[in-house]
Structure 1
Amino acid sequence: MTTVGTGAPGAARQLAPPSRMDGRTRLVLVVLLVAQFMLAVDFSILNVALPVIGEGLGFSLGGLQWIATAFALAAAGFTLLFGRIADLVGRRRIFLGGMALLGIASLAGGLAVSPGMLMVARVAQGLATAAVTPAGLSLLTTSFPEGPLRDKALGLNGALMSAGFTTGAILGGVLTDLLSWRWAFFINVPVALAVVVAAPALLKESRPRERPRLDVPGALAVTGGLLALVYGMTAAGDHGWSGPRTLVPLAVGAVLLTGFYFLEKRSAAPLVPIRVLRRRTVVWGNAAGLIAFVTETSLVFLMTLYLQQVLGFSPLAAGLSFGVLGAGTVLGGVLAPRVIGRYGSRAALVAGGLLQAVATASLFALGDDRGWLALLLAGTFAGGVGNMLVIVGFMVTATSGLPDAEQGTATGLATMTQQVGITLGTPVMSAVVVSSSGALLDGIGLAVLVNAGLVVAGALLSGLFLRRT
């Protein structure tokens, strides 16, 4: 929002932010959305291919999970740090550097001839994701002023990121079946190259005029805390919640993240200013976003179990079934800016959460024959619409009302929320399924109800603690 003089002393009027994009801003949006979509695809593209990769490179059965875990640890653990670095040295510079690293790491992963080479490539992909995602979101929010244009841009961004997660599951199955698992890596290379070539001419550098010092103790505490937390949650899916391999890293993560808060209170140049952490929109917006990502990504895991283990679908057929969920997320991304523009972001969080909860709860009725597929498709489609209303509402809420100089911090927090949610959902719901004493279908049903309950809790928290906007 810009304030300009009217000609009379002390008089001012508010200029409404533009509501339409010109040709250049459309190209800016395309470049940023392509990058974010590709990053979302990377979260899930290898899931179906893991057994084939294990056979081809000689991974042990227990080592397969680390192909996904290594990526998730780096992506979630370093996001907040890279978001702040982008504020300090330039968002475009970090964005371009991260995209270049992603292309190189993807090429190395596709050419890997040993487990060690593949693991190094996956860690590098995770670090690239941690750099590109907050920098890209910061460039997006600073390229579009608060108002209809930013809401529309965030809506498209959220829709494509959620659709990318679903597309990754489908694309991984198609590439593995028709070509090779290596193409799940190679496909990133031309896209990364195209973005690196196009971005410098379209994206303007964005950084504060005065460059503050980097908060090294805070950076170490939050990065170590997130790494420990994500590792502990991942270990819970394999070793249960009561073993030392789960409890020790969770305790270390809790101590480090608590210490991070107190370090930031005393720091002269904090990684995340306490005033940002105390903002109601930041706290409750990110809480809603965390629940949205935990529940929807874990629902994909639960329905994958149902389709393959209960109904006997092939991995490719199961992946294709999630195309309906992807369509729902795209529709939700298109509707979200309109809902937010008319009723406010809180309304989008509450309405979307309730729609997602009802759609998810309906899946409790699924039976053990293929006649129930219609219910699964309808439930995941409606749930995808609701989930995307929440995700866009979360992005708008968590990044609104902050100056451009703090957009890297805000988007870093939002991205951290997203990646931690994606990482935590599956082990949490896997533990619920395992805890059931009945058949697999009973465990899936219990997890579906827990999932729906979490969504309801998120909607209630948003309605109670966020102001109407």
Structure 2
Amino acid sequence: MSTPPPPSRPRSLDDEKAPTMAGSAEVIPKSASLAEPPRQRSLAKDIVLIGTVTLAMILNTANVIGVAISLPTIGRDLNIVEYKLQWAINAFALSSGCLLLFFGRIADLYSRKYTFVFGCAVMGIFGLGCGFAQNEITLDVLRGIQGIGAAAAIPAGLGILAHTFPPSTLRSIAFATFAAGAPVGGAVGGIIGGVLTQLTEKSWRSMFWFLTGLSAACCVGAMISIDDDFEHSLIDKRVDWIGAFLVTAGLTLIIFVLSDGSIAPNGWKTGYIIALLIVGVILVALFVWWEHYLEQLHIREGEMLDTWWAPSPLMSVTVWTRAKGKLAVVLMIAFLQWCGFQSFTFWIQLYYQDYAGYTPILTMIRIIPMFVTGVCCNFIVALVVGRVPVVYLIVVGTLFTGLANLLFAVINPNSPYWAFGFPATILSVFGADFVFATGTLFVAKVCLPHEQSVGGALFQTLTQIGTSFGIAISTIVFNATIAKSSLKDGVHVNKAGTNAPRPAQLVAYRDAMWAGAAFCFFGSILAFIFLRGLGVVGHRKEKDARSDVTATEQDAGAHA
């Protein structure tokens, strides 16, 4: 007679282990390796892996910041009207944000390594094509396809880190380094992109070709350093195509509306904007219902369920309840933080170039401290994430980003850069880097081994939606303020707002920053109320890390 499996040891919020399979929709076959310890790897190979995955994050960010700094030049070269220029960025964000969950699931089911390589290759190949684009439509279509690569590479990269490195100092360093890829990517896209755009013969096209070279390096590094992971895949590899369609279509419509609402013929009152928003929300609601239905169906039927239309859900709805609902709070804070942070980065570039009249290079010089501080923030996270409760890091980070918005909300244009611009630039990145590094570590800690990429995709999806939502709301505030302020002077502003009086423009920029500050301060309040007692999410002593892996294996095996 076989002996019963050992019981799971008690867990606390301060020592959160991978969740048990009880209540999970996915029944894992005993032959599937859920928490198999990683193979013995050399330190050099680990360093190359961390560098490669971080390079993918650098590419993801550089493909946004680099294009943003080049928009005025792209508009002049391709004769794109100003209010349509944002689609060179929105097309990338649209496809990358809407397909994260789908590709995260594909990575978990089949291979994180080859999903990652596919994503980096797509970013490179279609980025190369962007450099040869001769008109607006071609550029926007290529940018949209390029975003598919980011949607594949980023969640797969997070899953690779979570699977390769068990809870340890090295895991904390790996996730902090990956998070540092965002500010480094901002520096690469902003500084190098600005220099190439302004000083090379091919202008903005050189920037795309440079990023293509980095994509190629990313593919080579992945093939060298990332282990094949087919044997870690689940036996049931069916894809929830119904759920994939619902969430992709719903998010596409919502993000499209958020991106296009302010420039539609009648703004947010435009008929198709209202209709698409309603349809998008309904599709996302249907997605949640369908995933819950599949989850409950699999809990009832278990391994007996092999109906073709009912595979395991794309996203387990119960994942939101992990750690007694604290994962849902962390995801909401990530959404709010990206609303405030990306709104800040969007408006300060417009402020410096359109209001203050600086060139792209002079604008980048003024925001260089963001990138330097971002790298420093992630170094700090790597040092303290295993010692300092996560609530302190998140509250401080979101408060600092809120203060950065606040400084621009009260800015005096006649004051020197060091009075408002410099401290705001320094403070702005604390929230993004503290929340991203600690948030992804927490997601990796509470998600099951077979859903690490989906968990990372869920986190990234919330940040992508937050980016679009924050810019959309702050744009509504900006447009309403500039129209109201201009009417006081008897001026009817055009669609782009370029003919508005300078005092009206300044008031509009300030009000947009107030909106960004509100998002961040709300995130601070949520963290302070709901994340107290969560404890640390980073590494502990190495012997505790090894026992943690063993306990996870026992816990998963007991419920398989």
So what's the TM-score if we normalise by structure 2?
A: 0.77
Higher relative contact order (CA 8 A, sep 6+): 2
Q: Which amino acid aligns with 2:316?
A: P
Q: Which has the larger radius of gyration?
A: 2
Q: Secondary structure at the match of 1:45?
A: helix
Structure 2 match to 1:177: 198
Q: Which amino acid aligns with 1:198?
A: G
Structure 1 match to 2:247: 222
Which of the numbers 158, 171, 194 marks the counterpart of 2:217?
A: 194
Structure 2 match to 1:115: 136
Q: Which amino acid aligns with 1:403?
A: L
Matched, 1:78 2:105: no
Matched, 1:418 2:463: yes
Structure 2 match to 1:346: 391
Q: Secondary structure at the match of 2:523?
A: helix
Q: Which amino acid aligns with 1:309?
A: D
Which of the numbers 320, 342, 346 marks the counterpart of 1:277?
A: 320
**1:330 deviation in Å?**
1.3
Q: Which amino acid aligns with 2:436?
A: I
Matched, 1:22 2:22: no
Q: Is the 8 A contact 1:44 1:165 kept in 2?
A: yes
Partner Cα separation in structure 2 for residue 21 and residue 461 of structure 1? 41
Deviations along 1:10-61, one digit per CA (max 9) or x if unpaired, are 999xxx999x992221111011111211111101211232233233334455
Structure 2 match to 1:244: 271
Which of the numbers 52, 67, 71 marks the counterpart of 1:31?
A: 52
Q: Is the 8 A contact 1:302 1:444 kept in 2?
A: yes
Q: Is the 8 A contact 1:281 1:397 kept in 2?
A: no
Q: Is the 8 A contact 2:258 2:472 kept in 1?
A: yes
**1:305 deviation in Å?**
2.7
Q: Is the 8 A contact 2:52 2:218 kept in 1?
A: yes
**1:372 deviation in Å?**
4.3
Q: Which amino acid aligns with 1:454?
A: F
Matched, 1:355 2:421: no
Q: Is the 8 A contact 2:193 2:207 kept in 1?
A: yes
Structure 2 match to 1:456: 521
Deviations along 1:316-369, one digit per CA (max 9) or x if unpaired, are 211221101111211111112333211222221112222322343233331122
Q: Which amino acid aligns with 2:443?
A: A
Structure 1 match to 2:538: none
Structure 2 match to 1:369: 414
Which of the numbers 121, 135, 141 marks the counterpart of 1:100?
A: 121
Relative distance call for 1:351 and 1:64 in structure 2 (3 A) is closer
Structure 1 match to 2:512: 447
Q: Which amino acid aligns with 2:289?
A: F
Cα RMSD of the aligned pairs, angstroms, is 2.6
Q: Is the 8 A contact 2:54 2:180 kept in 1?
A: no
Partner Cα separation in structure 1 for residue 192 and residue 402 of structure 2? 28
Q: Which moves more between the two structures, 34-43 or 203-212?
A: 203-212
Partner Cα separation in structure 1 for residue 254 and residue 358 of structure 2? 34
Partner Cα separation in structure 1 for residue 253 and residue 472 of structure 2? 15
Matched, 1:304 2:349: yes
Structure 2 match to 1:408: 453
Partner Cα separation in structure 1 for residue 187 and residue 8 of structure 2? 52
Q: Secondary structure at the match of 2:376?
A: helix
Q: Which moves more between the two structures, 305-314 or 128-137?
A: 305-314
Which of the numbers 372, 375, 390 marks the counterpart of 1:327?
A: 372
**1:205 deviation in Å?**
2.6
Relative distance call for 1:308 and 1:190 in structure 2 (3 A) is closer
Which runs of at least 4 in structure 1 moved beyond 6 Å after TM superposition?
9-12
Q: Which amino acid aligns with 1:381?
A: I
Structure 2 match to 1:150: 171
Q: Which amino acid aligns with 2:394?
A: L
Q: Is the 8 A contact 2:49 2:221 kept in 1?
A: no
Partner Cα separation in structure 2 for residue 11 and residue 42 of structure 1? 45
Structure 1 match to 2:226: 203
Partner Cα separation in structure 1 for residue 166 and residue 138 of structure 2? 43
Deviations along 1:61-109, one digit per CA (max 9) or x if unpaired, are 5543322222111111111111111111111111111112222111111
So what's the TM-score if we normalise by structure 1?
A: 0.91
Q: Secondary structure at the match of 2:227?
A: coil
Partner Cα separation in structure 2 for residue 387 and residue 214 of structure 1? 33
Aligned residues: 458
Partner Cα separation in structure 2 for residue 27 and residue 404 of structure 1? 23
Q: Is the 8 A contact 1:107 1:185 kept in 2?
A: yes
Deviations along 1:243-299, one digit per CA (max 9) or x if unpaired, are 334322221221111111100011241000122133224311111111122211110
Relative distance call for 1:92 and 1:431 in structure 2 (3 A) is same
Structure 1 match to 2:436: 391
Any stretches of 5+ residues in structure 2 without a counterpart? 1-5, 10-16, 18-36, 299-311, 486-503, 536-560
Which of the numbers 520, 534, 541 marks the counterpart of 1:468?
A: 534
Q: Which amino acid aligns with 2:315?
A: V
Structure 2 match to 1:212: 237
Deviations along 1:190-216, one digit per CA (max 9) or x if unpaired, are 212222223222101334241331111
Partner Cα separation in structure 1 for residue 115 and residue 8 of structure 2? 41
**1:397 deviation in Å?**
2.4
Q: Which amino acid aligns with 2:101?
A: L
Structure 2 match to 1:162: 183
Partner Cα separation in structure 1 for residue 196 and residue 250 of structure 2? 36
Q: Which moves more between the two structures, 227-236 or 116-125?
A: 116-125
Q: Is the 8 A contact 1:325 1:377 kept in 2?
A: no
Q: Secondary structure at the match of 2:204?
A: coil
Considering fraction of residues, name the structure with more helix. Answer: 1
Q: Which amino acid aligns with 1:152?
A: I
